[in-house]
Chain A
Amino acid sequence: MSGARGTVARQRDGAPRRMLRRAVAALGVILAGLGICQLSALATKPRHSSYRWHLPQNFPMPRVPAGNPMTAAKADVGRHLFYDVRLSGNETESCATCHQQALAFSDGRARSVGSTGQSTPRGAPSLVNVAYDATLTWANPALVTLETQMQVPLFGSRPVELGINDSNKAEVLARIARDPWYRRAFRRAYPGRRRPIGWKTVVLSIAAFERSIVSADSLYDRYLRGEAKLSTSQTRGMNIFMGEKGECVHCHGSFLFSDQATYAGAPDERPKFHNDGLYNIGGTGAYPSDNTGLFAITGRPQDMGRFKAPSLRNVALTAPYMHDGSIATLQAVVAHYAAGGSVITEAPYAGDARRSPYKDPLISKIDLTERDQADLVAFLETLTDHSVIKAKRFSDPFGHPLGATAGASRASAVGNVVTSTTPR
């Protein structure tokens, strides 16, 4: 609006009629602008301009969906909801059950366990810097925002995660609405809304909290800033990782150590997925039928076993590894890539994945000595950000003991595996 007024003030044209016409036009612009401002104020109140990102110095501005501008009030509501077991059907799990701060918001399991004891087909990915992920989950080009991804854990029934369904969703929401803290906080976060507490605002809030988990304060980052030195082993590992020898950066490049980083103003690139040479059942290239990756979405043979290359930041905290948690340690992951794929000799998944017809050509045998491999692991361990796992603003506001929500202990006792690729 001030811009429009400024334009009028700068007019050098002295003809009074033209000036009048321009003034009228400018007034129109101002009024229209006021109208738009008021409308958007009703919708969200544009406090996002005042949101203070805690961005590391080499990190770009995250891409934020137009419908969910960041505010501190919203992210704070989201933080509470994220840790609140009342947000599951049977009040045993929260988002934090599978995304624990101490483990860089992963859960240490090969496959996560939902609130009714069903296993997900894949492991819970870390949420640190998830704001920059072009697609969410392990292999799904359809899920491009945290808001859309969240429909899966909230409402999915194959497998059940948080277990909110048509018979309990009103009750679950009522639990939140009964809490005076939420009533106040939602009103503050969504000041224009007549009914601030609803599923829509629950989703927007949790997404805002997740988006706020941006951090890069590892030894490696301090090294980049000239504040710390890497050991000889770490430096050798870094050179193998970044250089032509390891070529790890092909898939784990960028500030995120992945190849799906997006941000405000990022070029419009197609998100990449790779066959990581884990399976080649019977020499056909097949992956286990409950976990075929991108193939489950597209049905194209060449997409068999294609998954997202995840960010390697904090990777030392997110064991076990790969989409299905089938590799237990970082040492074993490095050995897998050094060999150019895995060989499985036992049924039912027997096959030499080094010779899979669908393996990404970038994954080939690398001549790495034992020392090289140990150095690579030493470098990967420098990517651990000890501040993000302790930061109070990302922590459990209810003070549950770390990693020991009621749901986690209860669910682990049940453990019934659902063999579906994706929740449907």
Chain B
Amino acid sequence: MDTRAIALIRALAVLAGITLLAATPANADSKAARHAVDIRFAAVAGSAPVQCGKLISGLGSTDQSAQLADFRFYVSQVALITRSGRAVAVKLRKNSQFRYTNRFGAVTLIDLENGTGDCAEEGTSAMNADVLGSVPAGRYVGVQWAVGVPPKLNHTDIAGAPAPLNLAGLGWSWQYGRKFMKIEVTEPPGLPVPWPSKTFFVHVGSNGCVGDPAKGASVKCALANEAKVRMSKFDPKRQVVDVDLKALLAGDDITVDHGGAPGCMSEETDPECGGVFKALGIDWHADGSGTGKSLPNQTVFRAASR
């Protein structure tokens, strides 16, 4: 073998080394090594798609038909899961109307209402079904996320906040935060007997919050009320996440209000929160002793084929 051949082999070896290095986690942030991720959500009732202005049937414990009035929720802490069960954070694409990242965390607003029909009152015409971001190249088999907003992004003024944290409709001003989930159904037109309670509100947000008068607006909440969802098998390319209104409302008669706010607005003892929080997998007890922690048995989100 002549010296030129040896030099060539050496050069190739060095190149191969560089390539290997590039694929190791140390360089995982470099653009070439990241893969795009698109986790798509779809609003459904059972298996039927749900949209504003279209009658939805089979809702609640008394099998009611209803109209959608809102269908939005914030998603954070999104990660893909490797075969060994390790969670690898999804880095969101650049900030937009529906995405925001800063040093305190990242959040995506999933907006499955289009501001028409009964969604017109507080809804918006723009929609967003996807968490868009990237992960280091690798093999992933599942996904996880939380329905919520990181605390330091959550407890901020709506006025002047960056999108999508600037929506008045998603303000949870009484706890100086955001509604993590705002899903509402209302009675359909032309009923012979109107519902005793016209709209069933599902407003999920942190509760039991206390500010520190000495530090101004710093707020800590006893009850996080974040639903943490983990799907150990999920392929974002072939599957979507169905968000099932039927499952969310299965535990409640959506036409009546037995106390507290109509529907469930995360109050510790609101009777309608029992069904809603069970479906979301958040610890809640009628006597107010719930911890607001996430449990591993939610029924609202499930994988379906794209």
Contacts and interface: CB of A to CB of B under 8 A. Distances in A.
Contacts of A262: 213-214
17 contacts: A63-B213, A142-B211, A144-B219, A147-B157, A148-B176, A156-B174, A165-B169, A166-B122, A198-B160, A199-B160, A202-B159, A203-B160, A297-B208, A299-B269, A301-B288, A422-B174, A424-B203
Interface size class of A (residues with CB under 8 A): 35 or more
A61 interface: no
Contacts of A134: 213
A166 to B, nearest CB: 5
Nearest to A133: B213
Interface string B191-225: 00000000000010101111111101101001100
Contacts of A297: 175, 207-209
A406 B219 CA distance: 37
Contacts of A299: 207-208, 223, 267-269, 288, 290
B208 A199 contact: no
Contacts of A301: 288
A423 B159 contact: no
Contacts of B205: 424
B88 interface: no
A157 interface: yes
A9 interface: no
Q: Is the interface of B mostly helix, strand, loop or mixed?
A: loop
Contacts of B217: 65, 144-145, 147-148
A67 interface: yes
Identify the 4 closest CB pairs spanning chains A and B, nearest first. Answer: A299-B268, A200-B160, A199-B159, A144-B211
Interface in B221-277: 222-223, 259-261, 265, 267-269
B167 A424 contact: no
Contacts of A167: 124
Interface SS, A side: loop
B214 A141 contact: no
A166 B169 contact: yes
B171 interface: yes
A231 interface: no
Give the size range of B's interface with the partner. 35 or more
A156 B216 contact: no
Interface of A: 63, 65-67, 134-135, 140-145, 147-148, 150-152, 154-158, 164-167, 169, 198-200, 202-203, 262, 266, 268, 271, 289, 295-301, 420-424
A343 B210 CA distance: 32
B288 A300 contact: yes
A286 B217 CA distance: 31
B15 interface: no
A151 B171 contact: yes
B100 interface: no
A165 B175 CA distance: 18
Contacts of B160: 198-200, 203
Contacts of B176: 142-143, 148, 151
Nearest to A136: B211
Contact of A148 (B157, B169, B223): B157
Contacts of B223: 299
B213 A157 contact: no
A134 B290 CA distance: 28
B140 interface: no
B174 A141 contact: no
Contacts of A266: 213-214
